[in-house]
Amino acid sequence: MSLEAQYDPENIFAKIIRDEIPSVKIHETDAILAFMDVFPQSEGHCLVIHKQAMVTNLFDVDDNDLAALTVAVKKVARAVRDGLAPDGIRVAQFNGAPAGQTVYHLHFHIIPVYEERNLGAHASGGPADTEQLEKTATKIRAAL
């Protein structure tokens, strides 16, 4: 999908926003939703999206919506740091399929990095166990 793609209101994140698909939520406001990635690259991998900015990528988002999203990314990343004590944290955002974007709703990845563990590949492998995601989310929520 190119950088000029039209927003599809049936994408998986739009369905999560509408509660048509379950998710393990970490943080939610009227505008922001943070939830666990079901295909995590590491323990604690989560996603942060804007619920009202229906855009595919960074180039389409309103500056005020991006500012709110960025503040939320920082808040959730801090909770991941404090709740899980990783050795580092990677924040990633992809634009267009050639860059690795697989869901065409603007989103940020927060990926904890642990020195003695290898990261999984982006958008690969099987889905994580929901109970384990919930246990990890509980630790992150407690640090918010």
Count of beta carbons in the 10 Å neighbourhood of residue 124: 9
C-alpha to C-alpha distance for 94 and 108, rounded to whole angstroms? 8
Out of 45, 50, 107, 109, the active site residue is: 107
C-alpha to C-alpha distance for 58 and 65, rounded to whole angstroms? 10
C-alpha to C-alpha distance for 95 and 14, rounded to whole angstroms? 17
Active site residue 107: yes
Amino acid at 53: A
Amino acid at 2: S
Question: Which DSSP helix (H) or strand (E) runs through 78?
Answer: helix 63-84
Among candidates 62, 68, 64, which has minimal Cα distance to 48?
68
Active site residues: 107
